[in-house]
């Protein structure tokens, strides 16, 4: 077998596995506050900046709008967000937090710390995490072009 085809030599497999396992680790924490992982990502975007167009949310999450729209519809049905047509352009849909969605921010504030504890290992520490973030941001930037 050729070395380049061995599973253990694949960056993509490591990234896929790490992503899947991190999402699994988030599950019990987010279940307590009533969110799925994709919903949590949307909420973090809106907690940073409320009243955003769907297109901007999708761009921020590196997703297509047709992926984000059904997610937003479920979140609206659950009372976390409200959607309305844009004032200047009726084709644009603006997403806003509801009082329930704003209140959830307080409940979610412990999640990053809990996840930090869950993923802490010898090679990812408070000191090494910024370099890992820069490396992953560089990879994301390269692949998203």
Q: What is the pLDDT of residues 73-105, one digit of tens each?
A: 999 999 999 999 988 888 899 999 999 999 999
Give the list of residues 6+ apart from residue 57 with CB closer than 8 angstroms, or none: 42, 45, 46, 68, 72, 95
On whether residue 81 sits in a domain, the answer given is: yes
Q: pLDDT value at position 1?
A: 76
Residue 43 lies in a domain: yes
pLDDT score of 54: 97
Least reliable range by pLDDT among 33-47, 48-62, 78-92, 115-129: 115-129
Q: For the chain, give the percent of residues with pLDDT over 90.
A: 82
Query: What is the reported pLDDT for 86?
Result: 84
Q: Evaluate whether residue 25 is within a structural domain.
A: yes
Provide the domain count of the chain. 1
Its pTM stands at 0.91
Is 119 within a domain? no
CATH number at residue 99: 1.10.10.10
Asked whether residue 103 is domain-assigned, the answer is yes
> Domain range for residue 57?
9-109
Residue in the structure block whose two tokens are 């009243």: 51
Tell me if 50 is assigned to some domain.
yes
Helix (H) or strand (E) holding 93: strand 93-97
Distance CA 82, CA 88 (A): 18
């Amino acid at each position: 077998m050729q070395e380049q085809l061995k599973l253990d030599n694949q960056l993509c497999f490591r990234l896929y596995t790490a992503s899947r396992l991190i999402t699994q680790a988030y599950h019990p924490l987010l279940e307590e506050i009533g969110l799925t992982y994709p919903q949590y990502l949307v909420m973090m975007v809106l907690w940073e900046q409320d009243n955003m167009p769907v297109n901007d949310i999708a761009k921020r999450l590196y997703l297509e709008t047709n992926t984000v729209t059904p997610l937003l519809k479920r979140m609206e049905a659950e009372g976390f967000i409200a959607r309305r047509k844009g004032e200047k352009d009726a084709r644009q849909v603006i997403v806003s937090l509801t009082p329930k969605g704003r209140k959830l921010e307080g409940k979610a504030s412990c999640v990053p710390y809990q996840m930090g504890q869950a993923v802490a290992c010898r090679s990812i520490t408070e000191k090494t995490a910024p370099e890992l973030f820069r490396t992953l941001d560089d990879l994301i930037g390269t692949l998203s072009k």
